[in-house]
Amino acid sequence: MNHRMIGFVIGKILLTEASLLLLPMLVAVLYGESVEPFLIPALLLVLCGLMLGAQKPRRTALYARDGLAVVALAWIVMSLFGALPFTISGDIPGFVDAFFETVSGFTTTGASILTEVESLSKGILFWRSLTHWVGGMGVLVFVMAVLPMTDGHGMHLLRAEVPGPTVGKLVSRMSDSAKILYGIYFVMTVVEIVLLLAGGMSLFDACIHSFGSAGTGGFSCRNLSIGAYDNAYFDIVIGVFMLLFGINFNLYYFLLIRRFRDVFRSEELRTYLLVVAASVVAIACNIDQIYNAFGTSLRHAFFQVSSIITTTGYATVDFNTWPAFSKTILVLLMFIGACAGSTGGGIKIARIVILAKTSLCDMRQMLHPNAVATVRMEGKPLRDPQIRSVHLFLTVYLLVFAGSCLLLSLEGMDLITTFTAVASCVNNIGPGLEIVGPMGNFSSFSNPAKLLLAFDMLAGRLELFPMLLLFAPSIWKRKLGQKKQIQTLS
């Protein structure tokens, strides 16, 4: 393992986080607030970043386990430093609570321990939502976009951080791929801000909710989330953009280079839109008796389906009061999640499709043992390692989920609260049901439970393995054979 290069990369990440703190600092100045909560962490980040990243190591190669370690450690360290503004400002006095809120921000979960957010300072609210925007596309992807530093070995970083069963470069250079992704991401965010401004939302509120939509995070500056505005235009704009940010960003690049056939041929995109449409219609029909107007029912159904399947977590109404059928659909959507390569969480549509096709293929072979069956995805045959990786992910996912539910049950909460709290954190959604519903929060849990849920959020955002492998002693050891191989390569 290349420990010096790992430290160097983390040092650059800390310097990047220090520069990000300048934005909420500017907001604090504009609103006449204290800059101390952001200045002190920024100085600490610069000091630590320079100590770790001042001198580039001679050997800059990053291999698979290096990439896993860098990504997991980077997200933990950024969350630890990112919690300081909350504690220094006094808005969240307890560090565990501040850490939970920051992890929820960077992982774009949107789960909160705050019972009231409108009294928070503007600078803190801006930082809270900015963590969504940075974490949505990925911390390491952001750093590679603005500060290329791995001499062409960044693919392992991307593979460890970007969600989905498969990861590929858009262009030959990894740094250029990161710039393209963040360029598309930035333009889409700006377009949403402009559309919200056109509807009469203030610039500050438009930025907050666009950051939350882009990162599919869900932090709002209003206690009642998007429901505080009671505005159909805002519901439609934010609902549409949540869906757009839940689509694989590679498809947007294909649109830019006019590869329209690849976009329309996307099996994952078609399945995603079909699941959304079917869920919206089913829920709208089920809740029509509540609102006595199908248009209103359709609007709220569309928004909540968009919010839950993309794991954003915004709400226009308290869906905890909806009929059991509608709540069951929303819970299922929590697990399905958005598309691979998007800013959304969950298991991902691509994995669901592969699992369904593999199951059907296995059942056919039970009937026709001598038949040669091939599982195809996006028109291409899947190799056995790809199928095994999907099965492995689901197995580990279920083990982590079951273990977390078991440990969280020690809190003594009801079963629905416990189950949906873990589901919302592992799938990076935010709201669950009952105590952690859209009008509730996670403040009732003890500090150990909050740390467990923070781990679940990080594990869910990083596709489980980077966080779990931190606990494997072998990942930190350098074998003699590997050492000789690295010296030869150098």
Divide the 490 residues of the chain into consecutive groups of 10 and give the mean pLDDT of each group: 78 90 96 95 94 74 73 90 95 94 93 91 95 83 58 52 53 67 91 96 96 91 92 96 93 88 89 96 94 92 96 91 94 92 88 90 83 78 84 92 96 94 92 89 94 95 86 65 40
**377 pairs with which residues across the strands?**
380
Reading the block at residue 190, the tokens are 């700006």
Residue 450's pLDDT is 96
- The three-point CA angle 431-435-438 to 5° equals 30
Q: Are 248 and 340 in contact (CB under 8 A)?
A: yes
Residue 379's pLDDT is 76
Cα→Cα distances 132→111, 250, 364, 392, Å: 12, 20, 44, 28
Cα→Cα distances 316→137, 276, 319, Å: 25, 17, 9
In the block, residue with structure tokens 């580039």: 56
Cα–Cα nearest to 248, from 141, 338, 345, 159: 338
Q: What is the DSSP secondary structure assignment for residue 383, as one 8-state letter?
A: P
The set of long-range contacts for 475-483, using a CB threshold of 8 Å and a minimum separation of 24, is: 475/1, 475/65, 475/68, 475/69, 476/1, 476/69, 477/1, 478/1
Q: Are 18 and 49 in contact (CB under 8 A)?
A: yes
What's the farthest any 2 CA atoms get from each other in the chain? Answer: 75
Cα–Cα nearest to 89, from 40, 32, 26: 40
Residue 466's pLDDT is 84
Helices 174-198 and 249-256, axial angle in degrees (round to 10): 90
- Output the DSSP codes for 388-417: HHHHHHHHHHHHHHHHHHHHHGGG---HHH
Residue 484's pLDDT is 41
101, burial (CB in 10 Å: exposed 0-12, middle 13-18, buried 19+): buried
Cα–Cα distance for residue pair 81/201, rounded to 1 Å: 32
In angstroms, how far is the first alpha carbon of the chain from the final one?
14
Reading the block at residue 26, the tokens are 């500017």
Residue 3's pLDDT is 72
For residue 310, the surrounding DSSP H or E stretch is none
Cα–Cα distance for residue pair 235/226, rounded to 1 Å: 7
Cα–Cα distance for residue pair 192/208, rounded to 1 Å: 11
Residue 485's pLDDT is 41
For residue 449, the surrounding DSSP H or E stretch is helix 447-461
Cα–Cα distance for residue pair 294/50, rounded to 1 Å: 59
Reading the block at residue 487, the tokens are 């010296």
